[in-house]
C-alpha cells in the first residue's frame, strides 16, 4: 500500500514524525553540517536532537567569518551549545561516545574550549576523544603569526595545564606547527593518561636536539611524525606502540632510534634525500626490541639507505617480517639490495616494488644524486 501524499501545512512534518532512534540513526550517517540542515525542517530539532547525538565532530573550518576571532567565536559557541544539557521536557540524557574537535590555536578561546568539554568527558562515557590543532588558511594568517611557532608551543602547553581534566581523557592528539622545549612533550604525554594516537606535523624543538619519548606507562599505540625538525626521534620506551609513521625528516643523523617498543608491528618511512643528508643503515634505527615487526614500508627513492655489511645485522630484527613495500624506486637502482632484504626476512609473504619516477624527471637542486646503491652479494634466495 502506498503512503498518502505529503501535504504542505499538515500538523507534523514527516521528519518529526519519525521515532527518535530512527531519526538519530539517519543523522549520525551524515556530517554535522548536513545533520543541521536536515534538522532545520524538523520541529523537534532546536531543543531535542542535538543533545542526543552520541558522536560529534566539530571542525572550525566549517564555520564562517572574516577573521580568526569571528570564526573561533562561532566554533566555541557551537561547541558549548551541543555539549550543554538538554532543557526540553524529554528528560533524556545522552552519552557522547565520540568527540572530535578540530580548532585553531586562538589563545582567547582555548580555555573556553576546555571548560565546554570537561563536564562531558569527566563522566567517563566518552570512548574516543580527540583534539586536532589545525593551521588557518593563508588568507587568515599573517607572515608574523606563521613564524611564531615557539610562542604557539607555549600557548598550547599553557592550555594543557589549565585544562587537566580534558587532557586526561584525550585518546587522540594531532598538532601542527608548534615548537616545544625538551621537557614539554614528556610533560604533555604524562598528562594524557588515555592517549593512544599522537601526530606531530611540522613541529620541532626550540633547540635542535633529540626528541625523546620515554613513556613506559603510556597507552600510546600509534605515533606519526611528519616534517618534524629535530636531530633525531628517540623512542626510549613506548611499550604499547604498534604503528609508527615518519615522513620527510630534516636531520643529518638517522631519523629514528628504537628503544623498548616490544609491540611494534608496522613502520612506514618515507623521505626525499637531500644533498646534505648522508645515508644510514637500517640497523642504525632498529633494535632487537623490534622483533615483532611484521610490516615495513619504505618510500621516496630510498637513497637514504646505506648498505648493510651482512644480512645478520637485520635478521634478528626482521625475523617476523611478512609484508614489505618499496615505493618510488628510481630507475637507476638494481635489485641487489632488495634480495638482501629478502635474505634478512625469512618469513616474508608479501613484497611490493613500485617505480613511479622516470629517469628524466627533474628534481630540486638540493636532492641527493640518484646513483645506484650497491649491496654486498650473498646467498640470495630465489624469487
351 membership: H or E segment, kind and range: strand 350-353
Q: CA end-to-end span of the chain, whole Å?
A: 64
What is d(CA 187, CA 198) in angstroms, rounded to the nearest whole number? 14
pLDDT (0 to 100) of residue 266: 96
Query: Any idea which of 294-303, 330-339, 350-359 has the lowest mean pLDDT?
Result: 330-339
What is d(CA 32, CA 28) in angstroms, rounded to the nearest whole number? 8
Give the count of alpha carbons within 13 A of 98, CB side only: 7
Give the Cα-Cα-Cα angle 235, 236, 242 (nearest 5 degrees): 50
Q: What is the 3-state secondary structure (H, E, C) of 206-255?
A: CCCCEEEEECCCCCCCEEEEECCECCEEEEEECCCCCEEEEECCCCCCCC
Contact 141, 166 (CB under 8 A): no
DSSP structure string for 32-79: HHHHHHHHTT-TTTTTTGGGT-SEEEEEGGGS--SSHHHHHHHHHHHH
What is d(CA 101, CA 151) in angstroms, rounded to the nearest whole number? 22
Give the Cα-Cα-Cα angle 346, 351, 353 (nearest 5 degrees): 140
Asked whether the whole model's pTM tops 0.85, one would answer no
Nearest Cα to Cα of residue 302 among 344, 347, 335: 335
Q: What is the pLDDT of residues 116-163, one digit of tens each?
A: 898 888 888 899 999 999 988 765 555 565 568 889 999 999 999 999
> Phi/psi at 352 (nearest 5 deg)?
-115, 125
Nearest Cα to Cα of residue 191 among 222, 224, 149, 160: 160
Number of Cβ within a 10 Å radius of residue 77 = 13
Residue 192 vs residue 56, higher pLDDT: 192
Q: What is the pLDDT of residues 7-56, one digit of tens each?
A: 444 545 566 666 767 666 666 666 665 555 555 555 555 455 666 778 88
Q: How far is CA 164 from CA 84, 181, 183, 191, in A?
A: 20, 19, 17, 7
Burial of residue 54 (number of CB atoms within 10 Å: 0-12, 13-18, 19+): middle
Residue 291 vs residue 240, higher pLDDT: 240
pLDDT (0 to 100) of residue 290: 87
Please compute the mean of the pLDDT values over residues 92-115 and round it to a whole number: 85
With cell 633494535, the residue in question is: 287
DSSP structure string for 110-177: HHHHHHHHHHHHTTS--SEEEEEE-PPPGGGS-HHHHT-HHHHHHHHHHHHHH-HHHHHT-SEEEEES
pLDDT (0 to 100) of residue 1: 44
Please compute the mean of the pLDDT values over residues 238-266 and round it to a whole number: 92
Looking at the DSSP bridge assignments, the partners of residue 193 are none
> pLDDT at residue 259 above 80?
yes
Contact 153, 179 (CB under 8 A): yes
DSSP structure string for 261-275: -TT--EEEEE-PPBT
* 197-201/172-176 β-pairing: parallel
Q: What is the pLDDT of residues 48-101, one digit of tens each?
A: 566 677 888 889 988 888 888 899 998 898 888 888 776 655 555 667 899 999
> pLDDT at residue 165 above 80?
yes
pLDDT (0 to 100) of residue 6: 43
pLDDT (0 to 100) of residue 29: 64
Amino acid at each position: 500500500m502506498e503512503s498518502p501524499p505529503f501535504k504542505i501545512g499538515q500538523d507534523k512534518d514527516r521528519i518529526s514524525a519519525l521515532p527518535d532512534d530512527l531519526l538519530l540513526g539517519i543523522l549520525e550517517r551524515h556530517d554535522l553540517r548536513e545533520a543541521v540542515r536536515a534538522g532545520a525542517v524538523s520541529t523537534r530539532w532546536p531543543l531535542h536532537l542535538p543533545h542526543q547525538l552520541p558522536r560529534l565532530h566539530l571542525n572550525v573550518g566549517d564555520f564562517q567569518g572574516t577573521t580568526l576571532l569571528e570564526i573561533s567565536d562561532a566554533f566555541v559557541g557551537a561547541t558549548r551549545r551541543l555539549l550543554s544539557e538538554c532543557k526540553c521536557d524529554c528528560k533524556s540524557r545522552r552519552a557522547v561516545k565520540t568527540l572530535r574537535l578540530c580548532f585553531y590555536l586562538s589563545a582567547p578561546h582555548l580555555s573556553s574550549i576546555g571548560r565546554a568539554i570537561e563536564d562531558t568527558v569527566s563522566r567517563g562515557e566518552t570512548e574516543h576523544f580527540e583534539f586536532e590543532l589545525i593551521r588557518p588558511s593563508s588568507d587568515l594568517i599573517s607572515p608574523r603569526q606563521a613564524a611564531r611557532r615557539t610562542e604557539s608551543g607555549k600557548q598550547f602547553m599553557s592550555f594543557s595545564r589549565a585544562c587537566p581534566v580534558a587532557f586526561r581523557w584525550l585518546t587522540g592528539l594531532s598538532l601542527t606547527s608548534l615548537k616545544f622545549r625538551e621537557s614539554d612533550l614528556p610533560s604533555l604525554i604524562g598528562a594524557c593518561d588515555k592517549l593512544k594516537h599522537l601526530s606531530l606535523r611540522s613541529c620541532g624543538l626550540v633547540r635542535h636536539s633529540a626528541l625523546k619519548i620515554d613513556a613506559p606507562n603510556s597507552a600510546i599505540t600509534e605515533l606519526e611524525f611528519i616534517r618534524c625538525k629535530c636531530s633525531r626521534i628517540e623512542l626510549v620506551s613506548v611499550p604499547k606502540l604498534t604503528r609508527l609513521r615518519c615522513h620527510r625528516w630534516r636531520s643529518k643523523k638517522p631519523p629514528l632510534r628504537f628503544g623498548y617498543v616490544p609491540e611494534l608491528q608496522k613502520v612506514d618511512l618515507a623521505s626525499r634525500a637531500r644533498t646534505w643528508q648522508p645515508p644510514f643503515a637500517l640497523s642504525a634505527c632498529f633494535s632487537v626490541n623490534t622483533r615483532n615487526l611484521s610490516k615495513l614500508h619504505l618510500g621516496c627513492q630510498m637513497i637514504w639507505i646505506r648498505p648493510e655489511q651482512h644480512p645478520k645485522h637485520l635478521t634478528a630484527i626482521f625475523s617476523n617480517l611478512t609484508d614489505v613495500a618499496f615505493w618510488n624506486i628510481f630507475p637507476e637502482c638494481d635489485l641487489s639490495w632488495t634480495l638482501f632484504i629478502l635474505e634478512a626476512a625469512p618469513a616474508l609473504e608479501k613484497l611490493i616494488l613500485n617505480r613511479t619516477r622516470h629517469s628524466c624527471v627533474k628534481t630540486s637542486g638540493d636532492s641527493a644524486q640518484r646513483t645506484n646503491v650497491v649491496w654486498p652479494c650473498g646467498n640470495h634466495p630465489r624469487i
